[in-house]
Amino acid sequence: MAFQAGGQRSQPRPVPKSPEARAYLQDYATLLEGVPFPSVVFDHRWDVVLTNTAFDALFHGVGPHPTAMPGDNFLRFVLFHPDAGLVLGEHESSWCLPMLAHFAAAVERHGHDHGLQSIRRDIAQDPIMEAAYRQGLPHWIRAVGPHAMEHDGAVRPLLHPDPRWGSDCRVVGETPKTLQDMGYSRLTLVLREARRPVHGRRAGRRPRRTASHLSVVPAPQD
């Protein structure tokens, strides 16, 4: 589902008011930069607060989008960016549905949040995404179990533009208490080295852009 219209960019990223919190984030950004794997800090809306160079390199090849760039709002990127499947392997089952499950939980906790409501409206504007959210998601959770929606520890397909890296990653949630108290979370994608030599990787295996992100859940029939 290549979402191109109707949405609005998330609210500006929240900036901690206290000098101590801002100083902590500055130092944490330095720590993040020392991590060789893609790492991102985001708030409860998935508005991105910090990224490191490895994260930026992973998504360097995605095209521009008015509301769904990975460095702006990671949830919007997963759900709405037409290039998301070029980086996130098995995009529907391994990334979209787990993220929709986390989004549904966030809406339950922060139902009146304007940023989350904006994402909810954008989901509702697309019949396929809406069907996935309202009908497909509960069925998927029943079929695979609630553990499948968890990010921490999950091994998920990843199509890194650098052929030195393999075809999947370990998602690690590592949020220290200070970040948690600020309302932030951190995820790191631990890459694995490719098992085959660089020349052994066949070109053309990356998925093509499609007009629709989700196909596992059909639109409701009248």
Looking at the chain, the whole-number percentage of residues with pLDDT higher than 90 is: 64
Q: What is the spatial distance between Cα 88 and Cα 81, in angstroms, rounded to a whole number?
A: 11
CB 86 within 8 A of CB 64: no
Query: What is the pLDDT, as a whole number, of residue 210?
Result: 47
Angle, helices 97-109/114-124, rounded to nearest 10 degrees: 130
Query: What is the pLDDT, as a whole number, of residue 80?
Result: 95
Q: Kindly report the pTM of this predicted structure.
A: 0.82
Mean pLDDT of 3-14: 38
Q: Which CATH class is domain 19-195?
A: alpha beta
Task: Record the tokens describing residue 199, joined without a space.
Answer: 């020349």
Domain positions in the chain are: 19-195
Q: In 10 A of CB 70, how many CB atoms? A: 25
pLDDT (tens digit per residue) in 50-95: 999 999 999 999 999 999 999 999 999 999 999 999 999 999 989 9
Cα–Cα distance list, 108 to 44, 46, 51, 185, 197 (Å): 12, 15, 27, 18, 47
pLDDT (tens digit per residue) in 19-33: 999 999 999 999 999
Give the residue carrying structure tokens 């852009």. 209
Query: What is the pLDDT, as a whole number, of residue 207?
Result: 52
CB 28 within 8 A of CB 179: yes
Give the residue carrying structure tokens 């549905």. 97
pLDDT (tens digit per residue) in 131-167: 999 998 988 888 888 777 788 999 999 999 999 999 9
Q: Which long-range contacts (CB under 8 A, 24 or more apart) does 199-208 make?
A: 201/163, 206/86, 206/159, 207/85, 207/86, 207/91, 207/159
